[in-house]
Amino acid sequence: MKPKILLAFGTRPEAIKMAPLAILFRNLNEYFEMRICVTGQHREMLDQIMEFFDLTADYDLNVMRPGQNLCSLTSKIINDMRPVLEDFKPDYVFVHGDTTTSTAVALASFYNGCKVAHVEAGLRTFDKWAPFPEEMNRNLTSKLADVHFAPTTTASANLINEGIDNKSISVTGNTVIDALHLGLEIIESRPSEYIDKLKETIDFSRPIILVTGHRRENHGDGFINICAALREISLNEEVNIIYPVHLNPNVQKPVFEFLSDLPNVFLIPPQPYESFIWLMSMATIIITDSGGVQEEAPALGKPVLVMRESTERPEAVQAGTVMLVGTDQRKIVDFTHQLLHDNALRLSYSGISNPYGDGHASEKIIRFLFPEALKSYDEKKLISVDE
């Protein structure tokens, strides 16, 4: 009998990072019976990722409701997962990272006697309030999981220090790198209206600074400082700044107040995955508070300024692929100036090994649990949307 595998996710980042694993399980369909369950925690953004990677949900919980809070969302996911688990009876339920979906699905799986495999396990800031609620989500999921796929040795050490059996841990790299490589291949193979529109409106012959920012800990004075720094950069450097602006009003208000009148600042809507990774590949410098970008940018050899005081991804800081600048206006401006005008410093980033893996995390995950499944596939391109 084929092992039954259920992949459950609900947000855009989860979908991106689980997509290459889902494609690999699908391409090994003679060995596995795989199904996908989405909660719809990010509805439109989730659907776009599913379409881009040519994935279809077997179960769609569609849990989001107006005015919903974390308590009601968590309880709804737990309740709605029960019939899914009873119907499919999976051998393993794969969850990802630190979302409410991940923790609620892991708890429901535990209640229903299903083994839980946690992808991107072991990230920690050691402050339960930062980021909130993600830090506690990933801690709780670790307690519920039977198997832990840590992206780095640091993440693995965190789990071992918490008393988790090291035999249940595998260091695989991060599947976000698998997704990035696969996504760029897809972009090269087919046209994109989103990318064509960017090319029509922005001069990419100038140095490009790509900015993303949305985290709630930066709301208020943090975003005011960030926007002041970006304004100063735009007025003093020969660059184009591209900022896909998050829809949260706490982000939109300061961004448009400080930056909307500047001709070399392009405030654009949040981008689909395909155009965003293309923008990353075109950027000279990336300024962000995103966790995922801290992992993806080093794979493209891009220097990153991280607008956070701490990060659950210390490996990038230690490797030198990212610099923590917080929301300090002076640091953001000064480091950007250095990177723009010191070619040797900027180019050094492309030579630093990415601490988050080589783009084969999905294969390592499956090989850890099911080594027999990959024995005849060592010479085959395992992750392909064409199969």
List the structure tokens of 37.
Answer: 């369950």
Q: Is 372 one of the catalytic residues?
A: no
Q: Give the closest residue to 385 by CA, choosing from 183, 192, 188.
A: 183
- Catalytic-role residue among 82, 206, 216, 341: 216
Measure the CA–CA gap between 182 and 186, rounded to whole angstroms.
Answer: 6
The secondary element (H helix, E strand) that includes residue 318 is helix 314-319
Q: Is 120 one of the catalytic residues?
A: yes
Q: Is 134 one of the catalytic residues?
A: yes
Q: Is 214 one of the catalytic residues?
A: yes
- Catalytic-role residue among 14, 60, 80, 120: 120
**CB-based burial label for 362 (10 Å; 0-12, 13-18, 19+):** buried
Residues 6 or more apart whose CB falls under 8 angstroms from that of 240 comprise: 202, 203, 204, 206, 207, 208, 209, 264, 265, 266
Sheet holding 92-96, edge to edge: 59-60, 33-38, 4-9, 92-96, 115-119, 147-150, 169-171
- Catalytic-role residue among 14, 60, 80, 98: 98
Task: Name the amino acid, one letter, at 180.
Answer: L
Runs of H (alpha helix) within 96-169? 100-111, 134-144, 153-161
- Catalytic-role residue among 80, 134, 135, 237: 134
Q: Is 216 one of the catalytic residues?
A: yes
- Catalytic-role residue among 138, 148, 214, 346: 214
Q: Is 118 one of the catalytic residues?
A: no
Instruction: Please give the torsion angle defined by the CA atoms of residues 292, 295, 301 and 304, in that order, rounded to the nearest 10 degrees.
Output: 60
- Catalytic-role residue among 43, 219, 246, 337: 246
Q: Which residues are catalytic?
A: 98, 120, 134, 214, 216, 246
